[in-house]
Structure 1
């Protein structure tokens, strides 16, 4: 839709609205949580004692089905007696473009990571374990990053709002820190795998996932830019009628470029790049681009409004320095690396 010389964006962030489902009987929330705990420990108990780490446990489908059903029944019976909040309806259930793109980024990421693990001769089942770490680290890191970097005074006054992720507020720099910590923990549990070997492959996935997520931000009309009269400026009608830089689309394009560069280097080294090379390139290129694009973005941290650089730029600087140090000091560009730490 055109308004004057600029595109007007007013898309509904909700892709599918399934309405509200009324339950035949109330369900206890604590009972649901208890059921997942029982399933987790029950699954470990059902797994064979001689099960190796690299193989999926072989559990009879009937036993697994019984564990799931029994766990939910036990959870509900227990908390129908004990005090627990309950729900009698679910909804309205709305599938948002952002959520679908966020989930899609993990689906693509799992597929691509499995492909790279197979290239390296590693068991692709390790990827399932890895992504449990990454998913939790992404959400927790991104949320805490937003809380600490962009609006700490609000969340210190209202700490329960930290859990209200549905109200928005995820910081990519926080997600990056969370993922790195999760990878460090994961590597320490694995044999013949180094931190840099793993990060080289994960950053390829993170780059393409960033493009998915920033496209989701566009669907939500969030992370908008400063006003502009450039021909490609966009009016985000849900916010105001001012043409602005579509900064989230700039960042999505940047992520695609970074992904293309990393994948090209990965293939040029026959799927076995020098350790630290892709990680260093990712940090240097992505966060240098982010530093420049922040000049077009609205300041998200109110307390940093008078700073010479905004919060996103200050957070990018140490990551850029780390990337330059890696590719100039730690990477042996002439030597084919080994997977072993």
Structure 2
């Protein structure tokens, strides 16, 4: 089967268009959720700093993880500094945004969880953004390795490849659908839905990036993004496990009453 084959300029435009469309869809979905909950559409008192922290953290993480993934480009960046602004990473954006939010919450004294309402916007934004990655084909670094599977797609070089952009869309949709289905019991434990989404996506990326070309091998065939996922999961899963155990214990106490 043949996948989309666009000229470099058209591929860049498609990627940028769907990237911004994904952001716009995510923002509107976030606003809709807040209206449904009877909350202000965007900002509450004292939460502006959290939004700024999220944006700055996501922007920094986005670029940082890309450069961890592609360290061989540092030599070229020394010649042309504009290359520092190139590239991006969903994993970096998620982790950077999380760190930025937590830092901002510490500085502003906010203690409540703020992540659960971001789950569906993240799902929608990722799916729409991945359409741009898929259309960009070989001009984007998100395609998979060659495969003999019947759904392998030729993006223009005559080689059927794993359409990992489509895999990502399907897995994110499935993860989002599962969390939406269980939204009511999850809502009793603030922040749990976001923790499950982030952990699930990091684990998925650790797996699926194993069937993508490795731009720079850090050892054992692991890419930079896979290493970042391993470190992030090692740091994040203990907190998730504690919250799951607390929720299970609370549920058992309520049942015994």
User: If the length of structure 1 is used for normalisation, what is the TM-score?
Assistant: 0.61
CA shift, 1:108, in A, is 1.9
Classify the secondary structure of the residue corresponding to 1:182: helix
CA shift, 1:210, in A, is 1.7
Q: Which structure is richer in relative contact order (CA contacts within 8 A, separation 6 or more)?
A: 2
Change (3 A) 1:298 1:153: closer
Rounded Cα–Cα distance in structure 2 between residues aligned with 1:317 and 1:165: 25
Q: Could you list the structure 1 runs, at least 4 aligned residues long, displaced by more than 6 angstroms after superposition.
A: none
Classify the secondary structure of the residue corresponding to 2:205: helix
2:58 is aligned with 1:142: no
CA shift, 1:287, in A, is 1.8
CA shift, 1:160, in A, is 6.8
CA shift, 1:100, in A, is 1.9
Classify the secondary structure of the residue corresponding to 1:255: helix
1:177 matched residue in structure 2 = 95
Bigger share in strand: 1
Classify the secondary structure of the residue corresponding to 1:158: helix
Rounded Cα–Cα distance in structure 2 between residues aligned with 1:220 and 1:229: 22
Rounded Cα–Cα distance in structure 1 between residues aligned with 2:128 and 2:196: 20
2:135 matched residue in structure 1 = 219
Gapped runs of 5+ residues in structure 1? 1-5, 16-93, 337-341
Gapped runs of 5+ residues in structure 2? 252-257
Q: Does the Cα contact within 8 Å between 1:276 and 1:326 map onto a contact in 2? A: no
1:35 matched residue in structure 2 = none
Q: Does the Cα contact within 8 Å between 2:22 and 2:124 map onto a contact in 1? A: yes
1:10 matched residue in structure 2 = 5
Q: Deviations over 1:241-300 (max 9, x none)?
A: 11111112111211111221222232x23x834123112211332122222212211112
1:234 matched residue in structure 2 = 153
Superposition pairs for residues 1-341 of structure 1, below 5 Å?
6-12=1-7, 96-118=13-35, 121-126=38-43, 129=48, 133-147=53-67, 149-155=68-74, 158-159=77-78, 161=80, 163-164=82-83, 168-188=86-106, 193-194=111-112, 197-221=113-137, 222=140, 223-237=142-156, 240-266=157-183, 268-269=184-185, 272-301=187-216, 303-304=217-218, 307-331=220-244, 332-333=246-247
CA shift, 1:11, in A, is 3.5
CA shift, 1:318, in A, is 2.8
Rounded Cα–Cα distance in structure 1 between residues aligned with 2:21 and 2:108: 27
Rounded Cα–Cα distance in structure 2 between residues aligned with 1:248 and 1:178: 22
Q: Does the Cα contact within 8 Å between 1:233 and 1:244 map onto a contact in 2? A: yes
Classify the secondary structure of the residue corresponding to 1:300: coil
Rounded Cα–Cα distance in structure 1 between residues aligned with 2:41 and 2:99: 21
CA shift, 1:124, in A, is 2.6
For the aligned residue pairs, the C-alpha RMSD in angstroms reads 3.1
Rounded Cα–Cα distance in structure 1 between residues aligned with 2:202 and 2:241: 17
Question: How many pairs were matched up?
Answer: 243
Q: Deviations over 1:123-170 (max 9, x none)?
A: 3331794555444433332112212x123343256347454467x421
User: If the length of structure 2 is used for normalisation, what is the TM-score?
Assistant: 0.79
Structure label with greater radius of gyration: 1
Change (3 A) 1:100 1:121: same
Rounded Cα–Cα distance in structure 2 between residues aligned with 1:296 and 1:308: 11
Rounded Cα–Cα distance in structure 2 between residues aligned with 1:98 and 1:171: 13
Rounded Cα–Cα distance in structure 1 between residues aligned with 2:213 and 2:136: 15
Bigger share in helix: 2
